[in-house]
Amino acid sequence: MKEEIEFRTFELVEKNGKWEGEYLQHKVANPIKTNNNANELSVGAVWEMTPKKYMFVSITDRPHTENDYPNSLFVYEENNKIFREAKFAFEGKFRFQYVHYYSFGNTAMVRSFDFIKGEALETPVYYIDNENECIAARTTWKCSYLNKYSFPGYDGNLIVDAEYENGDVMQIRSRATKVVDPKELAADMLCQLVPQIDDDLLMEATGILELTK
């Protein structure tokens, strides 16, 4: 295992009063080998959660048992030069059995997979709150080699993806998924109950709610 993890980001940099796009190289000291008796750390994806804070989706050979799997999600805080485990983890085998991982601004999505005798099982889809570093929501899906996916776009928390069956494509199913903060739900309920509610009162009412995800 390498002593350092290297990755690049594409950022806007001001030069001579103008903004230009530039690839920046990052090197992160890798403590996983020495601290966890591991030899391999395979990084599947890296994305910026908030400025200078990066999520690493990986697979490692850290020691584990049939019932206890180590977390394979790591966070690098560039300003503090800290590489650590994420503050959350998936359940059981889904800590390493994932097939898709994408970040869409405020929200990221990770799809897991599982099979029994060649048959796909329903497994979790995790939606990650990048800003608060937590799992915001869960759904389920079935992973199949027959089905292909693409992402036409996203807007804030709204994710638009398309699914079609591999081969002679007859139909494409398009879905729009929005990860909604609990306070947004509360605000919507208040608007339904009190149609003419004042905007300031609405913000104050949702602001004092103590909600736990």
What total number of domains does the chain contain?
2
The pTM for the full model equals: 0.76
pLDDT in tens, 92-132: 889 888 888 888 888 899 999 999 988 889 999 999 999 99
Q: What is the mean pLDDT of residues 172-188?
A: 75
Same domain assignment for residues 161 and 105: yes
Which range has the top average pLDDT, 20-24, 171-175, 191-195? 20-24
Same domain assignment for residues 173 and 184: no
pLDDT of 213 reads: 42
Listed residue (99, 174, 93) closest to 143, CA to CA: 99
Same domain assignment for residues 184 and 173: no
Listed residue (37, 76, 77) closest to 60, CA to CA: 37
User: For residue 169, which phi and psi values (nearest 5 degrees)?
Assistant: -75, 120
63 vs 80: which has the higher pLDDT: 80
The number of CA neighbours under 13 Å toward the Cβ of 23 is 4
Same domain assignment for residues 86 and 154: yes
Query: What confidence category does residue 184 fall into, taking pLDDT thresholds of 50, 70 and 90?
Result: confident
Domain that holds residue 89: 4-179
pLDDT in tens, 24-75: 888 887 776 555 555 667 788 899 999 999 999 987 777 677 777 888 899 9
List the single range of 91-95, 166-170, 196-200 with lowest mean pLDDT.
166-170
Same domain assignment for residues 109 and 26: yes
Same domain assignment for residues 15 and 87: yes
CA distance 38 to 40: 6
- H or E segment and range at residue 35: helix 32-36
pLDDT of 212 reads: 46
Same domain assignment for residues 10 and 38: yes
